[in-house]
Amino acid sequence: MKRLYLLAAAAAATAFAATSALAEDTITVGFTASLTGPLNVDSAGQQRGYEFWRDEVNAAGGIKVGGKSYKVKFVTYDDQSVGGRVQQLYTRLINQDKANFLFSPYSSGLTAPATVITEQYGKIMIDSGGAEEKPFETGNKYLFMVITSASHYLSGAIDALKKYDPHAKLALVYSDDPFSKAVLAAAAQQAKAAGLEVVMDESYSPSTTDFGPIVNKIVSSNADAFLGGGHYSDGATLARQMHDQKANMKWISILVAPADDKFAELGPAALGVTVPSQWELQVNFKPQFGPTTAQFAKAFMDKMHAKADYHAASGYTVGVVLQHAIEQAGSIETDKVAAALNATDITTFFGRVKFATDPGHHGLQAAHQMVLAQWQMVNGKLGRQVVWPEEAKSAPIMFPIKQQ
Amino acid sequence: MLGVLASIIDGVLVGLVYGLAAMGLTLIWGVMDVINLTHGTMIVAGMFGLYGLASAVGAPPYLALPPVLIGGFLAGVLLYWVAVHRMVGRPPLMSLLSTFSINLMLIGLGTSIWGTALFNVEVALPGFSLGRYTFPGAHILAAVLAALIAASLYLFLQRSRLGKAVRAVANNREAAELVGIPTTRVLAITVGCGVAIAGVAGMLIGTLFPFTILSGDSYQLKSFVVTALGGFGNPVGALFAGIALGVLEGAVTPFVPVSWTLVIEFALFVLVLVVFPGGIFAARRGAL
Amino acid sequence: MPLVRLMRRPFFWILALAIAVFALAPVFGNNVALREALILDAVYITLASNLNLMLGYAGYINFGSIVFFGLGGYTCVWLVNSYHWPLGASLLVAGVCVSVLALIFGLGILRLRGAFFALATVGIVEAVQAFAENFTPWGGSSGIYLSGDIFTPLGGPARALWVIYFMMVAVMGLSLYLSYAIKSSKFGLGLLAIGQNEDAAAILGVPTPLYKALVYSASAFLPAIAGGLYFFKSAFIQPSDAFDLTLSTEALVVAMLGGQGTVAGVAIGAFLYEELRGYLLTSSMFANFQLFVSGALLLLIVLFFPGGLMGFIYRHFPRTQKVLE
Amino acid sequence: MSVLLDLREVSKRFGGLQAVRNLSFDVRQGEILGLIGPNGAGKSTLFNLINGVFAPDHGRIIFDGIDITGERPYRVARYGLARTHQIVQPLTNLTVLDNCTVGACFGRKNLPLARAHEAAREAIAIAGLENRAAMLALNLTIAEKKRLELARALAAQPKLLLLDEVLSGLNPTEVEHMIGVVRRIRERGVTILIIEHLMQAIMGLSDRIVVLNFGQKLAEGLPAEVARHPQVIEAYLGDPKLAAELQGAG
């Protein structure tokens, strides 16, 4: 009997708790963030971007639709960086919290399961944290991605290498996770097409802690350019061990980790490392909608007390794109907003945003371009400079990397 | 060929540190049948101790050793009184639950304070080169320190009065109690030593690689592997098994795709367990 | 013990009623949010109940229960995705294959006792995960994405999620009855004897290697099917989710919390643990401290309710011992 | 009398220790055979060899016409061989009844659960544990645990029962009671091989005696014969108290 009572009580508690009354002029946006678990750092950046956008919009009186203005309200939960939680929480966001629109969790691995739910309920979800293309190839109708997808991450690095050292011997060493594998698979093809020689192409387990033997293997392969890495600690460890073990690379491109300001902790090991970036402070696009880079960076710093990085910028852009689409549609109905998103082609401080509309890739980003940032000494301090493409660069490239 | 040799030397250097880390686990395990699931987190605590002292205060990294050792010991004694003491005499491995809970708390607290951001401690020491291959000074020093600490633990267990008491309690707790050994205090000290060693190992690892609050998981797993290979409750075996693991990682990498290293490592681990249920270094079981 | 005899005991009907309430609770008012919460409860209950066959009965600590779940998930998703098998058949094949595999694994590692066995199971989780990361037919580390139209045969996504829910509750129900039936059988008595003292059990005539291998294999079947359902529902599977050691550890914790060796205790333990975690995750008060709070609560329970939940109930309401098993 | 258990030149070595050496003797249907010898003579090892805990290095063990050499313990139990342990081995968290039911279920008759319960109750009655049936084994006194060992072995309805020091650690009243129980078991047609240090008791109980020393057979015969055997007396001289007891009992 005890058991029955407990079941019933828990069921009742779950059912009646938190019945959020929908206020008249509010738009509810739901998402999960990885407050705990390994994705916490990147996810936090993205979440700050989301929140900054919400605060900005609300301060400006909300989103204006046909003479009415809607304030934006967020509902958010911790997904623990675990895929299994995401479906439970997105269902809850849609059904219990009555979210009108959804933002994606961080990473492809979490976005994919969330998509099953949002598509099932026909809700729009805008993605800025999962760069992998596979979820866009399964016929989804309401999923949109504002960032450049995985297969273009290292295009810039390959182009730059082709220009500076057409005879470079590449070592591609990357984490065994979906995102990194997709990025490097595309990079390997682009390298071959550019006539660069790939002398090593291997993935390592994401839980690898000591890269000593791997660095030795890179040295043995006679490579002089390194492309790879994956997520957070592995990328940083690789950079440090290549430096400690004097691997003498002329070129090092590492995914994700060097885009964070904490990468400067590595000191000399960080110098010269390049990172493909969705956005950098030095990038200057003329926005048709929303703030300029300078305005964004300053306001973000004032409000969030943190330097804006690309996760924050892309998170913010998700909001801007949604806002733009709602205003264009003149409605908050899903189908009208989705149509507006399909027709979107705007440039914000983040760059140009346009979505693929063919059924095989619906929602994939079709226009945004990445830049390549390099860690250089600026006034005696380590900082990132944009070095590629040429037309966007804020400093000359350091090639080859100077060993100390 | 030189590359293989270099990887093997690397393996020995890092393996000594793995071995030291595992000694912390195996000591507690062997003496009181407690699997300390906070082990990984204690290793991380050592890393953060190093970071706090070296990067924030600016002290030379290796000066962090004594404070980490003492802090780890105190933390271990506290852990004993909070989570382990009440579990003695309960169904086997109940301590698994209590240490699991403590670990959740520590990780939760750590994540809300530091996030999973990356920390790095720069250690500028001249390295040693073999052709194109370089062994960083920090690796060499860490290995030497690990060996020294392991040796002191061994001497402590073999020679000192307290060490003998620890071994007596491990052998037969009731008998030890009967001959007047204050077993509870000995157990508390054992957990203290185990945690202190884990912390110091973490501190040494912190001089080698960057780390996050979650880095402990991998090292805890490695410690399990090392403990099993070395034989439970056998600190000397653990040290050799640590080296064996490091050498295996180093020796395998040049010949197979890197991503298969883990498959080989764990398949071998299960195989060794099944074939030598007492650990490969079981012959030295009398060590504790 | 024959079914008829089981049906004469009140616990059989209590269990039936509880499962029925569990299945129907979200149906009233079409409460899909509750359904999503309950389906995770069902997963935990399934994992913990089957784990309990090894842990509570035979006394073997298995950190590798997640391997069954993950391999079941992979087999099912792979058959559905690459060979377009119907869900039912894929689930069944997944269950059978994983049980057979468990039997083979079991014959190898069940020679080990106590902590050695526990460690070997950790090794198996890691080895299998590392294998899946390198196994191309399963998409390596990228895993397998299912397209949106896999739900069409089940009547579209909205209906499919209900169908999957009921199937999951059925798997949970079967798990509970399996634990109950084994506990009340000669097989179960043999397992309990092994759990208490394996050498003595063998001397009394319990065929220990066979029984251990059988129960290890049996404890793989339903978790494999649950894994199949779960990852089919997610429409996505990748090695790090499928072989997450944390989930295995949680299943152990849950079984010990509820009271290992009991049928009802383990189920209630799983239910409460998952509800607690779910509540803490979604409550704004604890958002940043949910791990810390779960840890602290767990510790208090471990310290002050040593026999687990059932131990507590039995001690304070001795009569329940006759009814709740 | 037909031979029930036949040991032929059985040997077992542990590292440098020759625990049992070239040992041959037989146990006849229906008798009580006593096995004595100083500490470390290899008596318990012999039990472990007979019921399959260890496999002998050499020699054969034939039980009821079947060669059981090196068979696993659970197979041996099925053939109808049950034993008790010198150090009690209760299934601690099971009730006395369940302990005995395990014996009945997996013993010679391979009974289904319901029938096994009946057999277990019967064995419990013989061992005099009726009022402890529902108690957990861990809550029993030492004497009761000894009786539980016996009841559990008996529940298996064995042809041959190996008793390993069932009297040690009991007070005189309990010893009396236990001897009665052993006699009653024999009356039911169960053959018994018994190890015992209490000379008085074993000399009185046994039909025949086998004496072991350093893993070898020293003497074999009727209790009175054995007690007068010079080598046996010599073997026990290391232990004057035992030697005196031996004389007294003989």
Q: What is the pLDDT of residues C210-264, one digit of tens each?
A: 999 999 999 999 999 999 999 999 888 988 889 988 788 888 888 888 888 889 9
User: Is there a cis peptide before residue A389, judged by omega within 30 degrees of 0?
Assistant: yes
Q: How many distinct structural domains can be found in chain A?
A: 2
Q: Which of C8, C57, C198, C204 to mutate to test the interface with D (most CBs of D within 10 A)?
A: C204
* Contact state of C123 with B263 under an 8 Å Cβ cutoff: no
Of the candidates C34, C146, C278, the beta carbon closest to that of A11 is on C34
Cβ of C161 and A120 within 8 Å?
yes
pLDDT at C38 over 80: yes
Domain boundaries for CATH 3.40.50.300 within chain D: 3-80+159-249
**Residue A72, pLDDT score:** 95
Of B7, B118, B253, the CB nearest to A232: B118
Question: pLDDT confidence of A16, banded at 50, 70, 90?
Answer: very low
* D180 pLDDT higher than 80: yes
At residue A5, the pLDDT reads 47
Confidence band (pLDDT; 50, 70, 90) for B279?
low
Contact C292 B101 (CB under 8 A): no
Considering only CA atoms, which of A129, A107, A103, A135 is closest in space to residue A38?
A107
From the CB coordinates, do chains C and D have 3 or more pairs under 8 Å?
Answer: yes
Domain boundaries, chain C: 3-322
Nearest CA-CA distance, residue B127 and chain C, Å: 33
Residues of chain C in contact with residue A109, where contact means CB-CB under 8 angstroms, are 143, 236, 238, 240-241
- Smallest CA–CA distance, residue B14 to chain A, in Å, is 8
Chain C residues within 8 A of A140 when measuring between CB atoms? 148
Domain identity same for A382 and A251: yes
Whether A404 is in a domain gets the answer: no
Chains with ≥3 CB–CB distances under 8 Å to C: A, B, D
Q: Which of B101, B225, B277 sits opposite C302 (nearest CB)?
A: B101
pLDDT 10s digits, B248-265: 888 888 888 888 888 888
The answer to whether B120 contacts A266, with C-beta atoms less than 8 Å apart, is yes
Contacts of C196 in chain D (CB under 8 A): 90-94
Query: Which pLDDT does position A261 carry in this prediction?
Result: 84
Q: What is the pLDDT of residue A23?
A: 43
> Would you call C130 and B266 a contact, using CB atoms and an 8 Å cutoff?
yes
Most D-contacting residue of C203, C212, C310, C321 (CB-CB within 10 A), to test interface: C203
Say if CB A249 and CB A258 are below 8 A apart.
no
- Compute the average pLDDT of residues A369-388: 91
Closest CA to C246 of C226, C220, C273: C273
Residues A221 and A113 in one domain: no
- B266 at the A interface (CB within 8 A)? no
D104 to chain C: closest CA residue: C204
C-chain residues near B259 (CB < 8 A)? 130, 133-134
Q: Is C123 in Cβ contact with B269 (below 8 Å)?
A: yes
Tell me what the mean pLDDT of segment D164-193 comes to. 89
Asked if B86 lies within 8 A of C289 by C-beta distance, the reply is: no
Local confidence band at A260 (pLDDT 50, 70, 90 cut-offs): confident
Q: Are residues A252 and A156 in the same domain?
A: yes
How far apart CA B176 and CA B184 sit, in angstroms, is 11
Contact list in C for residue D72 (CB cut-off 8 A) is: 202, 209
Neighbours of C299 (CB within 10 A): 20
| Fold of the domain spanning B2-117+133-275 | ABC transporter involved in vitamin B12 uptake, BtuC (1.10.3470)
pLDDT at A146 over 50: yes
Q: What percent of chain A has pLDDT over 70?
A: 94
Mean pLDDT of A5-32: 58
Q: Nearest to residue C312, comparing CAs of C257, C272, C270, C267?
A: C257
Put simply, whether C149 touches A (Cβ < 8 Å) is: yes
Residue of chain D with shortest Cα separation from C1: D113
Same domain, A250 and A379: yes
Could you tell me the residue range of the domain that residue A172 belongs to?
152-277+370-392
Mean pLDDT of chain A: 87
* CB–CB contact A134 C142 (8 Å): yes
Judged against a pLDDT cut of 60, whether residue A369 lies above it is answered with yes
Full-prediction pTM beyond 0.90? no
Which chains have at least 3 CB atom pairs separated by less than 8 Å from chain D?
A: C
Which residues on neighbouring strands pair with residue A63, listed in sequence order? A70
Of C235, C271, C281, the CB nearest to A116: C235
Chain C: nearest CA to B119, how far in angstroms? Answer: 21
- Provide the pLDDT for residue A237: 93
Q: Which pLDDT score, from 0 to 100, does residue A24 have?
A: 55
Q: Which of C116, C253, C256 sits opposite B228 (nearest CB)?
A: C116
Contact of A90 with A114, CB cutoff 8 Å: yes
pLDDT for A90: 93
Interface contact B105-C292, CB threshold 8 A? yes
Q: Are B165 and B173 in contact (CB under 8 A)?
A: no
Same domain, A219 and A308: no
For residue C138, CA distances in Å to A160, C126, C134, C145 come to 35, 17, 9, 10
User: Does A267 contact B120 at a Cβ distance shorter than 8 Å?
Assistant: yes
Is the complex ipTM higher than 0.85? no
Element (H, E) at D194: strand D191-195
Contact A61, A324 (CB under 8 A): no
For chain A, say whether B130 makes contact (Cβ under 8 Å): no
User: In chain B, which residues have their Cβ closer than 8 Å to the Cβ of C110?
Assistant: none
Q: Which residue has the tokens 């989570």?
A: B83
**Do residues A223 and A129 share a domain?**
no
Average pLDDT taken over every residue of chain C:
88
* A283 vs A386: CA distance, rounded Å: 7
Helix (H) or strand (E) run with residue D163 in it: strand D160-164
Neighbouring subunits of A (3+ Cβ pairs under 8 A): B, C
The set of chains that have 3 or more CB pairs under 8 A with B is: A, C
pLDDT at position B91, please? 66
Mean pLDDT value of segment C74-81? 95
The CATH number of the domain holding residue A270 is: 3.40.50.2300
Could you give the CA distance from residue D185 to residue B184 in angstroms, rounded to a whole number?
47
Going by pLDDT thresholds of 50, 70 and 90, the confidence category of residue A323 is very high
Per-residue confidence at D50, pLDDT binned at 50, 70, 90?
very high
Write the pLDDT tens digit of every residue in D136-151.
998 899 889 999 999 9
Pair (A268, A290) in one structural domain: no
Asked if residue A400 has a cis previous peptide bond (ω within 30° of 0), the answer is: yes
Beta carbons of B266 and C123 less than 8 Å apart? yes
Mean pLDDT, chain B, rounded, equals 87
| Partner A contacted by C124 (CB < 8 A) | no
Q: What is the mean pLDDT of chain D?
A: 88
The arithmetic mean of pLDDT across residues C181-196, rounded, is: 94
Say whether both A113 and A224 belong to one domain. no
Q: Which residue of B has its CA nearest to A264?
A: B120
DSSP codes of every residue in A115-170: HHHHHHTT--EEESS---SGGGGS--SSEEE-SPPGGGTTHHHHHHHHHH-TT-EE
Q: Does A46 touch chain B (CB under 8 A)?
A: no
The two structure tokens encoding residue C315: 């001690």
Say if A398 falls within a structural domain.
no
What is the reported pLDDT for D249? 58
D to A contact (≥3 Cβ pairs closer than 8 Å)? no
Confidence of residue A19 (pLDDT cuts 50, 70, 90): very low
* CB neighbour burial string for A266-305, b if at least 16 within 10 angstroms, e if fewer: beebbbbbbbbbbbbbbbebebeebbebeebbeebeeebe
Residue whose pair of structure tokens reads 């289904």 in the numeric block? D112
CATH number of D3-80+159-249: 3.40.50.300
Interface touch C282/A18, C-beta < 8 Å: yes
Indicate yes or no: CB of D107 within 8 angstroms of CB of C201. Answer: no
Do B and A make contact via 3 or more CB pairs under 8 A? The reply is: yes
Chain C residues bordering chain B (beta-carbon distance below 8 Å):
61, 108-109, 111-116, 118-120, 122-124, 126-127, 130-131, 133-134, 249, 252-253, 256-257, 260, 288-296, 298-299, 302-303, 306
With a cut of 50, say whether residue D163 has pLDDT above it: yes
